[in-house]
Chain A
Amino acid sequence: MQGSDASARAAATQSADELDAIRRRVINVVGHALRTPVTTIAGMTNALEAADDEATRAMLIEGLARNAQRLEVLLDDLLQAAGVVTALPVDEPSRLSVHDTFETAWRGLEGPDSLMLPGDDVVVTARATALHRIATILLDNGLKYGHGSVTVSTTMSNNGVRIEVESAGDGPSDEELSRAFELLYRGEHAVTTAPGLGIGLAVARELARAEGGTIELARRGANIVATVELPA
């Protein structure tokens, strides 16, 4: 009996240690992701008070709006990642142009590199909020972790529409790639390249599933390709 008590205590201690490690990891990644927009908003608010010309004030007000929106998206992602139903899109599915959606998402990211959209546009049936969020996550990843341009190509598949988002660059290792959809997972490549929560792809996959689709990630030569399949 004493032996089983000791085993139970050891198991409980290990479980508590693991929970503590997870708690620290969550606080660390959330704190990291919050710091830049929060400190930017704080700084821009102070700078706005000191600004004495209209052009600077206008730039700061735009910056405040951008960073407030960024916090809003972050909050939605966190709630969605935690399985909170209220954060899921509530708009009705509609017929959406893939090119239009990805171009709009790209403009929102203000990426310095070019977005390439070869081939014909296709139309999918999905919630506009969900497709825009999926597009933003995949393009943002391509920008942050790739080297240069991002290409979005579309084809018809057996199950509907296939959208491939391909970014150049060596990117993550095979292990990092295989774990990329894990909630809060950030591999060495991600940690040393850009701030983030490690929830974008997990959120994108949940959104795609809710639309009756899938998302996969694979290596193609030196590039990384995210493939989304959605009903036509």
Chain B
Amino acid sequence: MSSPNGSEPIRVLIADDEADVRLLLRIQLEHEGFEIVGEANDGQAALDACVDTKPEVVILDLLMPGVNGFEAIPKLRRQHPNVAIVAYTAVAGDFVRKEMARMRIPLLLKSGNVTSLAATLRKLAETARSI
């Protein structure tokens, strides 16, 4: 199981409006040893799911109907300050890159290979667990 200090597996929530993206990430990340504690199809569902599932990291798509990722970020930070966020998006122009950099949120482009995503999740969880 994936754990930064050989302890419990890292608890991850997947927020993406594409069901196939959620399915694929769940299969790939579970294979990497992560524990997928929940899925959400928009920002509000992600906020609600954080209450019940207590993830350590949220993988957050930025473009979603209803409450989108941009709107969800400040709410997640306010309501769940201990939950780390990874922005996961199909494309990222200058605005998105600058905004994520300003908020110090790791930004990853969607990919069929989860190596970078898994490394980022481990790094965030390791940092959070060391505090």
Contacts and interface: CB of A to CB of B under 8 A. Distances in A.
B20 A63 contact: yes
B2 interface: no
User: For the side of the interface on A, what is the size category?
Assistant: 35 or more
Given A40-B24, A47-B31, A63-B24, A193 B64 contact: yes
Interface string A56-86: 1001100100110000000000000000000
Contact of A40 (B70, B91, B112): B112
Contact of A35 (B17, B41, B91): B91
B64 A43 contact: no
A13 interface: no
B65 interface: yes
A63 B112 contact: no
B27 A144 contact: no
Contacts of A44: 20, 24, 112
Contacts of A38: 112
Given A35-B90, A35-B91, A47-B31, A40 B65 contact: no
Interface in A168-194: 191-194
B18 A36 contact: yes
Contacts of A193: 63-65, 68
Contacts of B112: 38-46
B63 A195 contact: yes
B111 A43 contact: yes
B33 to A, nearest CB: 13
Contact of A144 (B20, B31, B65, B110): B65
B101 interface: no
Contacts of A195: 63, 90-91
Is chain A's binding surface mostly helix, strand, loop or mixed? helix
A42 B66 contact: no
A46 B25 CA distance: 12
A19 to B, nearest CB: 20
Contacts of A145: 65
B24 A35 contact: no
Nearest to A64: B20
Interface string B1-33: 000000000000000011111011001100100
A207 interface: no
A222 interface: no
B105 interface: no
A9 interface: no
Nearest to B111: A39
Nearest to A36: B90
B5 to A, nearest CB: 26
Contacts of A28: 91, 93
Contacts of A143: 65
Interface of B: 17-21, 23-24, 27-28, 31, 41, 63-66, 68, 70, 90-91, 93, 109-114
14 contacts: A28-B93, A31-B91, A35-B110, A36-B21, A38-B112, A39-B111, A42-B111, A43-B111, A43-B114, A59-B23, A60-B27, A146-B65, A191-B63, A195-B90
Given A145-B65, A193-B68, 16 more contacts: A28-B93, A39-B111, A40-B24, A42-B113, A44-B20, A46-B112, A46-B113, A47-B24, A47-B31, A50-B31, A51-B27, A56-B27, A112-B41, A147-B66, A192-B68, A194-B63
